[in-house]
Amino acid sequence: MSTAKTTVAVTGATGQVGSATVRCLAQQFPDIRVRAGVRNKQKATMLQNLGPSVEVVQFDTAIPETLTKAFTGANVACIIPPNGPNRIDHTIAMMTAAKKCEVKHVVMVFGPVDRMPKGSLMLKEVAPAEVSDASISDVLFSL
């Protein structure tokens, strides 16, 4: 039997959806490691205070090596697509890095959109082996 802890990498961990995801994982599942990916570690003080199971790492799609570092050794990636005009490009970069790092499960986490009840999230598991520009666009535009 393996004694290795499950590691869940969460992108966008200082945003509303990302920080709520990290907080929930840390509080509800204390036996897992949560790797909180952030662009600016100085904005992540409250994440660092969640306990020893939370590791804050730099995560910036403009710096590919930070993606690799964040996803290496993770069993699960919770990818929260960013807002903005480059949303698809950033999401493709994250999915490609997760695939390269052999992450077993990738969960796309979407924050509230117009058609969703207030306070709800949408989760969709995506098989890393099937990542392509088209599949990412399909997931993002199906909302």
pLDDT in tens, 1-46: 444 689 999 999 999 889 989 998 999 888 999 999 999 999 999 9
Give backbone dihedrals phi and psi of 93, rounded to 5 degrees, phi first. -60, -40
Is residue 126 a part of any domain in this protein?
yes
- Parallel/antiparallel/unpaired status of strands 105-110 and 122-126: antiparallel
pTM above 0.85, yes or no: no
- 74, 109, 118, 83 alpha-carbon torsion, rounded to 10°: 110
Is residue 104 a part of any domain in this protein?
yes
The total number of structural domains that make up the chain? 1
Is residue 1 a part of any domain in this protein?
no
